[in-house]
Amino acid sequence: MKKELSIVSPELPEGFVAAGTACGVKKSGHPDLALLYSETEAAVAAAFTSNRVAAAPVRLSRQVAGTGRCRAVIANSGCANAATGERGEGDARRMAEATARLLGIDPGLVAVASTGRIGTYLPIDRIEAGIEDLAGLIRSGGNSAAAEAIMTTDTRPKETAREFAVGGRTARIWGIAKGAGMIYPRMRVAGEPHATMFCFLLTDLGAEPGLLRSALSAALERSFNRITVDGDTSTNDTVILLANGASGVRAEPGSEGEAAFRENLSRISRELAWMIVADGEGAGKFVSIEVGGAKTAGDARRAAAAVANSLLFKCALYGGTPNWGRLLAALGYSGAEIAEDRISVSLGDLEVVRAGLILDPAPERAGEELRGKRIDLRVDLGLGEGRDVYYTCDISPEYVEINRG
């Protein structure tokens, strides 16, 4: 059996259709309503924000995901339907019900997602009318329209797909994501997987919900749960994975199909997570911060997250100036065990901190590296085997201007 791993041009997996339209939630008239639909039964796994002020659609979709079965996702941009109380819950239900009517399925099989401003009510009549309009738009080529309709401050749609062969059959995973600000996914320690991103994944592979949840949980810990734009964890972020089995490939526990699925799900999740960071509000640089040599894995995560969230360090990244003191300060307050004289830091291949000392000859070459679009930082704490990576971007004056309103 040959296992092919390749990034393909984004197309929906077998048995899925999609649509996107503008229904008037956004005053700009830009697309703001997306539908994803599996023509046959599908298993579901999902992850939701750990924010205790969770939006109405998050609470509804969490219930749907709990059943293990889901056939449709209806999503709007332009309004988050968060901090909207009982009326917001009713509106989320009405979105699910209108979608169920359109598709002739049980409302309990429809997940709902909303993104946009917190604390305003959905224009639910316009959304219901929009859902009716989707009837004429649903098709296997509707993927890109759906990707566009979930955008908020994103400057471009985020869509990707992969396919892989198992036992002579080919399965596909396709995904879209959105997000540019209020991005700092954080996972709960216990319970079902919680993430804080907005991402929809469809696959024509067949799998039980339990296996999907386990694979999604692992994928999140290398992707959406390791990115930050601004350190603000959203009330609405949602990851939904539907698997309808239409490819004939099945991922049984322990099978080659499972291994191939897990690998491709991780890759596609990371790819979409990276797209979000690269499109961070006002950002011009993609930055990876790898911390190794930590006393524990938790310490590595804390240290990488502190650097990735340091406003001062990210301002220096924007300026393209080497300011390793700010990076060291962030490591120092991260809560991770630190021995200052064991810290080393590399920028790409260039060593910039050795034994806790900032190297003198580096600043000019480092400045050159830092003015690039892609910055790879590696920190070695010199204390153990713990390792983790966060992905982030710079913070520019434009970020502040985008968010002043």
- Find the shortest distance in angstroms from Cβ 189 to its own copies: 12
Which residue shows structure tokens 């949840």?
213
The yes or no reply on residue 233 touching its own copies (CB under 8 A) is yes
Asked whether the CA dihedral 197, 223, 334, 315 is positive or negative, the reply is negative
Candidates 10, 248, 332, 348; binder of its own copies (CB under 8 A) is: 332
Candidates 234, 247, 264, 269; binder of its own copies (CB under 8 A) is: 234
Round to whole Å and give the CA distance between 280 and 180: 4
Structure tokens given for 127: 């959304």
Round to whole Å and give the CA distance between 142 and 183: 27
The yes or no reply on residue 298 touching its own copies (CB under 8 A) is no
Going by their DSSP bridges, the two strands 198-203 and 169-178 should be labelled as antiparallel
Candidates 216, 328, 366, 389; binder of its own copies (CB under 8 A) is: 328
The yes or no reply on residue 338 touching its own copies (CB under 8 A) is yes
The yes or no reply on residue 371 touching its own copies (CB under 8 A) is no
The yes or no reply on residue 307 touching its own copies (CB under 8 A) is no
The yes or no reply on residue 329 touching its own copies (CB under 8 A) is yes
User: How distant, in Å, are the alpha carbons of 38, 156, 242 from that of 246?
Assistant: 9, 30, 12
Amino acid at the residue 270: R
The yes or no reply on residue 211 touching its own copies (CB under 8 A) is no
The interface region with its own copies, picked from 136-144, 197-205, 208-216, 349-357 by CB under 8 A, is 349-357
Of the pair 120, 214, the CB lying nearest its own copies is at 120
Residues 135-174 that bind its own copies (CB under 8 A): none
The yes or no reply on residue 401 touching its own copies (CB under 8 A) is yes
Of the pair 209, 322, the CB lying nearest its own copies is at 322
In DSSP terms, which residues pair with 377 in a beta bridge? 289, 347
**Cβ atoms 60, 96 nearer than 8 A:** yes
Round to whole Å and give the CA distance between 18 and 16: 7
Of the pair 231, 382, the CB lying nearest its own copies is at 231
- Reported as type and span, the H/E element at residue 92 is helix 85-103
> Diameter of the chain by CA atoms?
69
Round to whole Å and give the CA distance between 111 and 43: 12
The yes or no reply on residue 296 touching its own copies (CB under 8 A) is no
Residues 246-275 that bind its own copies (CB under 8 A): none
Of the pair 41, 232, the CB lying nearest its own copies is at 232
The yes or no reply on residue 63 touching its own copies (CB under 8 A) is no
- Find the shortest distance in angstroms from Cβ 299 to its own copies: 11
Number of residues that bind its own copies (CB under 8 A): 65
The yes or no reply on residue 368 touching its own copies (CB under 8 A) is no
Round to whole Å and give the CA distance between 375 and 283: 13
For 118-155, the DSSP string reads TT----HHHHHHHHHHHTTT-BTT-HHHHHHHT-SS-S
The yes or no reply on residue 340 touching its own copies (CB under 8 A) is yes
- Taking the chain, what is the end-to-end CA distance rounded to the nearest angstrom? 55
Query: Is 170 assigned a catalytic role?
Result: no
Q: Which of 99, 115, 196, 392 is catalytic?
A: 196
The yes or no reply on residue 316 touching its own copies (CB under 8 A) is yes
The interface region with its own copies, picked from 92-100, 127-135, 213-221, 325-333 by CB under 8 A, is 325-333
The interface region with its own copies, picked from 23-31, 48-56, 154-162, 384-392 by CB under 8 A, is 48-56
- Find the shortest distance in angstroms from Cβ 109 to its own copies: 27
Candidates 1, 27, 29, 85; binder of its own copies (CB under 8 A) is: 85
- Find the shortest distance in angstroms from Cβ 325 to its own copies: 2
**Cβ atoms 136, 147 nearer than 8 A:** no
The single-letter DSSP state of residue 226 is G
Q: At what angle do helices 324-333 and 311-319 cross, to 10 degrees?
A: 160
Going by their DSSP bridges, the two strands 198-203 and 344-347 should be labelled as unpaired
For 343-385, the DSSP string reads -EEEETTEEEEETTEE-TTHHHHHHHHHTSSEEEEEEE-SSSS
Chain positions contacting its own copies, by CB under 8 A: 50-54, 80, 82-85, 117-120, 181-182, 184, 186, 230-235, 309-313, 315-316, 318-321, 323-326, 328-333, 337-338, 340-341, 343, 353, 355-358, 395-401, 403-405
Active-site annotation, residues = 196
